[in-house]
Structures are given as C-alpha cells and as structure tokens.
C-alpha cells in the first residue's frame, strides 16, 4: 500500500518529473504507517533544473560541480511536521534506520528531511 501519490512526490519546479526511488518510497510508506496519520510532503523528487538543486551544482566560486542532493536522486523527502509531531517522526525514522536527517523547526515552514542516499555522507544530521 502506498500512502503517497506520484503527484505529491514529483518535482515542483514546473517540469512535473517523477523519479522517486522505489526502495525509498517503500521505507517512507513504512514510516507513514507507523506514524498513524497523513504526512504532508513539501518536497520530494527534484530535477536538476529545480532552483534548489541547480544551486547545489554550482560551487561558491561559481564553478559547475555536477553534484546534486538526495532529492535529485529521488531518495529524499521533506515532511511538514512540527513540535511533538516532529519528535514522533524522528523517533519512527530512526527506528526504521534512516541515517540522513535534516531538521527545520523554526519559523512558519517547519519540516523534517529524511533521505536514503548511499552516495552522500552517512550517518548525519543537520539543521537548516
């Protein structure tokens, strides 16, 4: 069973591409099942032209690096949660073996980033 539609996970830059990784989706569905209620996706797959991914591919000196993030691999998702729900999601994600986690719990756009990239440093956690 999938709790998430392709529309929720497709690139939101306007291209509409959907390349979310099947294994990552399976793990995300397991986390959602254990969470017990709907989770809002604020960002799923991002194509290389997505503004956030395009910035990652350019170094601070303006050189093209060709390196994108886990969203571009289709192996990352940002979920809109805050406060107690954020803590609950973190506990569940850790129980499911997520080893790359980003936390934004300030301001009005609070979310938790979960990703399953095997090409980026792991285990790690960061804040925005």
Task: Tell me whether the omega of the peptide bond preceding residue 119 falls within 30 degrees of 0, making it cis.
Answer: no
**In terms of pLDDT, which residue wins out, 65 or 127?**
127
- pLDDT for residue 63: 52
b (16+ CB within 10 A) / e for 51-88: eebeebbeeeeeeeeeebbbbbbbbbbbbbbbeebbee
Mean pLDDT value of segment 65-74 = 82
Per-residue confidence at 60, pLDDT binned at 50, 70, 90?
low
Residue 121 and residue 97 in contact, taking contact as beta carbons nearer than 8 Å: no
Averaged pLDDT score across all residues of the chain: 92
pLDDT mean over 79-93: 98
Sign of CA dihedral 7, 10, 14, 15: negative
Can you read off the two tokens belonging to residue 104?
């934004």
The residue among 49 and 54 whose pLDDT is bigger is: 49
CB 27, CB 116: distance < 8 Å: yes
């Amino acid at each position: 069973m999938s709790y998430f539609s392709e529309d929720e996970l497709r690139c939101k830059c306007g291209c509409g591409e959907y390349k979310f990784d099947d294994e990552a989706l399976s793990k995300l569905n397991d986390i959602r099942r254990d969470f017990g209620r709907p989770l809002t996706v604020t960002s799923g797959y991002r194509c290389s032209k997505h503004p956030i991914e395009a910035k990652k591919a350019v170094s601070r000196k303006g050189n093209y690096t060709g390196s994108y993030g886990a969203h571009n691999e289709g192996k990352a998702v940002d979920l809109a949660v805050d406060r107690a729900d954020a803590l609950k999601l973190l506990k569940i994600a850790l129980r499911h073996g997520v080893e790359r986690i980003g936390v934004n719990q300030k301001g009005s756009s609070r979310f938790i980033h979960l990703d399953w990239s095997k090409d980026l440093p792991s285990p790690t956690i960061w804040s925005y």
